[in-house]
Structure 1
Amino acid sequence: MFAPKFRITSSITTALMSVEADRQVIMELPIDVEMLGSLRETAKLAATHYSTQIEGNRLTQIQVQETLAGAHFPGRERDVSEVRNYYRAIEEVERLAKPLAPLTEEDIRQIHGLVLHGRPSPTPYRDEQNVIRDSVSGGIVYMPPEAKDVPELMRDLVAWVNGELEQGETPAPIIAALAHYQYATIHPYYDGNGRTARLLTTLILHRAGYGLKGIYNLEEYYAQNLPGYYQAMDVGASHNYYFGRVEADVTEFIAYFCQGMAQAFAAVRTQAMNAAGRGAHDRSPLLRRLDPRKRRLLDLFRKHGTVTTAEIAAHLGLSPRTIVALSRDWLKDGFLTLHDPSRKNRSYGLGQDYERLIVDEGR
């Protein structure tokens, strides 16, 4: 069973206190729907840019935004694919981020499937040994555990995370930090481990009540403090998992991680206070019911009031047939109301609760 070794230092305590203070302020601030959506999108774009940049992606932050809007960059097809895949994975984390839901290996595998292939299909763990090499010298930096040990190590990690979250004795940021560290240590795949580790961290924090309305990211901190990131991860007397790292003291990484959270939360607190100062009204509990597709549709209804099946399909980039199937569910759950039932000109309005989101913005 995973049994990490660490100490609670004064720097970790200070960072945790800062996180809790900012978290409390942010969650109580009123933020209007439009601003909340804008802050969330900004956070997702930044997370996508910085997390892929850490892995060598060459697209700038502006190019990342253009890529997600449909642009192509000849000669950088792999970079474009990585960016789109990571953004899809963030949206999947949003979908999976149900408070207090237990973490599963299936969750992690689906996230990795999106990161690497752009599909939420669970991917199998590696079946051979792999190594991490220095990009300049080619020397071995780290040799993960053997492939035969990966399944058990992953089961132990997931069981440990769920157990710690259920007991509630260890602060959630420390649980997330240790999960990040151990996942990277196990290195269960040949590729995509770093990106998946960072998304796993986000998922755990969201489920533990540290989602912060989805308006922060930690990836920027990692990217801007990359030497510290690698130094904090590089513990143990040997580069071999079995000769040092498995029993290493990971206090330094926890400190690095918690300080990053404190920095990110402080920045978001400033943004949120500015937004609240503009007379915002918080409808975030209602917004949290919406998946990414429904959130995108709010913009369409905001402009037109009522919309047709064809307009919804064009806005979401889906086929009209798919929208017909989705609209049945949306009518049942109250997101949509049927405005014109005719087959040729069928149109919809927002359900009463969601109509208020748009009405409140105009006040």
Structure 2
Amino acid sequence: MAFEPNYGITAPAALALMAIERSRAAIEHLPIRAGLITSLRESARLLSTHYSTQIEGNRLTLPEVKQVIAGHGGFPGRERDEKEVLNYYKAADKAEVLAAIKRPLKEEDIQLLHGLTFEGRAKPAPYRDGQNVIRDGHDGHIVYMPPEAKEVGRLMKDLVQWINHTIAEKRVPAPVIAALAHYQFATIHPYYDGNGRTARLLAILILHRCGYGLKGIFSLEEYYARNLEAYYEALTVGPSHNYHLGRAEADVGHFVQYFCEGMADAFAKVQARTENMEVPAGEGLSEKLLRELRPLQRTVLGLFQKSQVVTSKEIAAYLGIPPRQATIQCATWVIEGFLVIADSSKKARTYCIANKWERLIA
């Protein structure tokens, strides 16, 4: 495992990490209904989609992004912008699904996120096969020279091994792991385009997998977009624009600090918003029930809010997983008492939520 990031936890980063933990603990103990979580998740997903694509030059406003996601697009001359937000929205959903799968991260997972983000296809995208140079849009001078294409495969393999090893070891705080993964992916720059969006999704995937997903009701991208200069400045470290002239070994503590401060800011906003919401009587019971569910089960509650009876194919489409995997998952959930078979016929088998969980979708 060759990747060994050079970083230090600055005093501001340490303070941000403590703030993250305080907000995370406060939010986890708030009695938030499944219906409200679904609404907050949708709002956060729209914000993430809007700001992550805006960073890359997308011209759609937030209200326009909402229209496109709802299927009411049609902005002449901005078809590419519409495609970008639709792709990112789907990829963000997929990142959460991948995070919930109980296995180590694979390179194919990251390639799949890029395939969805950049091409809109649920198919792993191969790395670039040539050199990529990032230039200043104003004067054309070289801003960054990433490693050669022949090195990308090895570097990505090292990165994924480091992520899995560090998560399993549990010595490095999850926000720091996500920050370093974001930075290193952007530094390797394994694709000709779409690296920034994929790097941000990779960070989100890691946070969800490490228990910092916050039910999907936060958006980091808004923090980046508010001050793009600070975001790019934090990503730019080392004595040279060339990966091989010190960029790879540079101290990335400044980016870790920036990332953690942005995460603390996002978590604090969610905490303030949820604490100010009126909590109906008996809501504590709903929160207790939610804590018994795993992330994938919490996610699928949104589908049952739309329809009381569903098929495994509908669950597969909603979660973005293969139909066969959804069939196996449904069988497991029936055994665990999460689902009940509504129609047992093999060709048209349907499922509904077990009585114990019905209040969560009321």
TM-score range, shorter chain: 0.7 to 0.9
> Residue 296 of structure 1: CA displacement?
4.1
Report if aligned partners of 2:330, 2:339 keep a CA contact under 8 Å in 1: yes
Change (3 A) 1:57 1:166: same
Change (3 A) 1:13 1:329: closer
Identity of aligned residues (%): 52
- Aligned match of 1:130: 132
- CA offsets, 1:91-118, max 9 Å, x none? 1011111276422101101111100111
1:24-103 pair list within 5 angstroms: 24-73=25-74, 74-98=76-100, 101-103=103-105
Please tell me whether residue 208 in structure 1 is matched to residue 214 in structure 2.
no
> Residue 353 of structure 1: CA displacement?
3.7
Report if aligned partners of 2:117, 2:198 keep a CA contact under 8 Å in 1: yes
> Residue 137 of structure 1: CA displacement?
1.7
Report if aligned partners of 1:338, 1:348 keep a CA contact under 8 Å in 2: yes
- Aligned match of 1:180: 182
Please tell me whether residue 298 in structure 1 is matched to residue 300 in structure 2.
no
What's the secondary structure of 1:252's corresponding residue?
helix
Letter matched to residue 178 of structure 2: A
- Structure 2, unmatched stretches of 5+, are none
> Residue 56 of structure 1: CA displacement?
0.4
Segment drifting more, 101-110 vs 254-263: 101-110
- Structure 1, unmatched stretches of 5+, are none
Report if aligned partners of 2:64, 2:73 keep a CA contact under 8 Å in 1: no
- TM-score normalised by L of structure 1: 0.86
Please tell me whether residue 190 in structure 1 is matched to residue 192 in structure 2.
yes
RMSD: 2.8
- Aligned match of 1:223: 225
> Residue 284 of structure 1: CA displacement?
3.1
Please tell me whether residue 154 in structure 1 is matched to residue 156 in structure 2.
yes
- TM-score normalised by L of structure 2: 0.86
Report if aligned partners of 2:304, 2:310 keep a CA contact under 8 Å in 1: no
- Aligned match of 2:295: 288
Letter matched to residue 203 of structure 1: L
What's the secondary structure of 1:163's corresponding residue?
helix
In 1: Cα distance, 2:267 partner to 2:149 partner: 37
In 2: Cα distance, 1:189 partner to 1:340 partner: 46
In 2: Cα distance, 1:339 partner to 1:7 partner: 55
Change (3 A) 1:326 1:248: closer
Change (3 A) 1:328 1:2: closer
Letter matched to residue 356 of structure 1: R
- CA offsets, 1:316-358, max 9 Å, x none? 89xxxx99x9789757744665657899x99875433442323
In 2: Cα distance, 1:236 partner to 1:217 partner: 29
- Aligned match of 2:268: 266
Change (3 A) 1:157 1:72: same
* Equivalent position to 1:170, from 153, 172, 175: 172
Segment drifting more, 279-288 vs 171-180: 279-288
Aligned pair count reads: 345
- Aligned match of 2:358: 355
In 2: Cα distance, 1:253 partner to 1:158 partner: 19
Change (3 A) 1:230 1:87: same
- CA offsets, 1:152-190, max 9 Å, x none? 100111111111111111111111111100000000001
Letter matched to residue 300 of structure 1: K
